[in-house]
Amino acid sequence: MRTRPKKHFTPENNWINDPNGLIFHDGQYHLFFQHNPFENKWGHMSWGHAVSTDLINWKELPVAIPEQADHAIFSGSAVFDEANNRLVAIYTGHREGNQSQYLSFSFNGGLTWSENLKVLDLNMVDFRDPKVFMYQDRWIMSVAKPKEFKVAFFESKDLINWEHLSDFHSPEITEIYECPDLFPLGEKWVLIISTNPGGLYGGSGSQYLIGQFNGKEFIPETKAEFLDYGPDYYAAVTFNDSPERISIGWMNNWLYANNRKLEIWNGAMSAARKLKIENGKLIQTLIGETENFHTDANEFEFKYSNGSLKFKRSHNQLIVDRSELWDSEITTFSIPTAGPVTIKALFDAGSIELDINGKLATALINVGAETPIFRPI
């Protein structure tokens, strides 16, 4: 019998993937998510729903926006439309041969939703994952044109009528674009782009760029860097209307997520992360109880009751070997670092999230709810 995580959100039953519609509203963090209410594998895409006051303890609510007769409910975002006193979900409606952007409305804090109103259709097969936010006096949408390797930006006064502003392509990101998220952070702007394939070790991964947004175009000032150096962090997006800039990602990898034969539930969200920019870099701080370690050893391990997660230095890289605790692809991964190592580790059943000298790495591992022994080897 699997042990359910205590520090990460999992659905009571069945499949989840991307976080959707992240918004802080009326004192609660709302986590909507891609969900199959019927099976433990991808399909019948709907928006599940959970809420929290502390980003650690989550209460799952009934399915928010179920699959429709003519389209599945793919990823998107949520905003509070103050003028009409309603929450608005902006999502991709997917049907064979077409992806378009739709709106749904809630007048009771996200508990129930009405209408499925198509508002943006470019007659494209791949056109998805809208993230919407208020900029000055208008709404801005970032949305992926996946197979053109572009993020498109649109503007609207009313969330219904949208005009194209610009397209953005990063020469460093040359795989299918998904789940873009553009947001201000301090005096800069950050653009997150998830790619599948395009992960560091195969499968999926998420990258970011820092720059400026002038109301029409995103102008990068840095090259793309990975958000996470582990194999299991994807589709990360941030909360709208949160007091601080907070992100959550899907803790899995498309290389194997749909192939694992798991009972009861399949998929978990990462721990939330607090974001800031420092010295031109994006700094992510894990939210939740972490254990702290420090070592200058060349090799060390976290020893669990059923095996060890092993670490070994090699040419300014820290190689992590999860082969004793993992039964699928990507048994090793690496974190760029040099010198003594300071580790903050968030341990939970089924996973480990590491902050090693400021670089984060997330990995699924087959362990229960235990705190491993840390030791040099």
DSSP state of 299: E
The SS3 assignment for 290 reads coil
Say if CB 291 and CB 74 are below 8 A apart: no
DSSP string, 175-236: S-EEEEEEEEETTEEEEEEEESS--BTBS-EEEEEEEEE-SS-EEE-S--EES-SSSS-EEE
Extract the tokens encoding 219: 């102008």
For 13, list phi and psi in degrees, rounded to 5: -145, 155
Residue 216, number of CB atoms within 10 A of its CB: 11
CB 56 within 8 A of CB 7: yes
Structure-token match 């019998």, residue found: 1
Phi-psi group of 235: left, alpha or beta (phi > 0 → left; psi -120 to 50 → alpha; rest → beta): left
Rg (CA), the chain: 20
Give 81: exposed, middle or buried? Use CB within 10 Å, 0-12, 13-18, 19+.
middle
Residue holding tokens 């709404």?
A: 139
Is there a catalytic annotation at residue 18? Answer: yes
Per-residue burial over 85-115, b = 16 or more CB atoms within 10 Å of its CB, e = otherwise: eebbbbbbbbeeeebbbbbbbbeeebeebee
Tell me which residue of 25, 55, 41 sits closest to 267, measured CA to CA: 41
Q: Which of 161, 153, 143 is nearest to 91 (CA)?
A: 143
* Cα separation, 355 vs 110, whole angstroms: 34
74: Cβ–Cβ under 8 A, 6 or more apart, which residues? 34, 45, 91, 92, 93, 94, 99, 128, 129
Residues belonging to the active site:
18
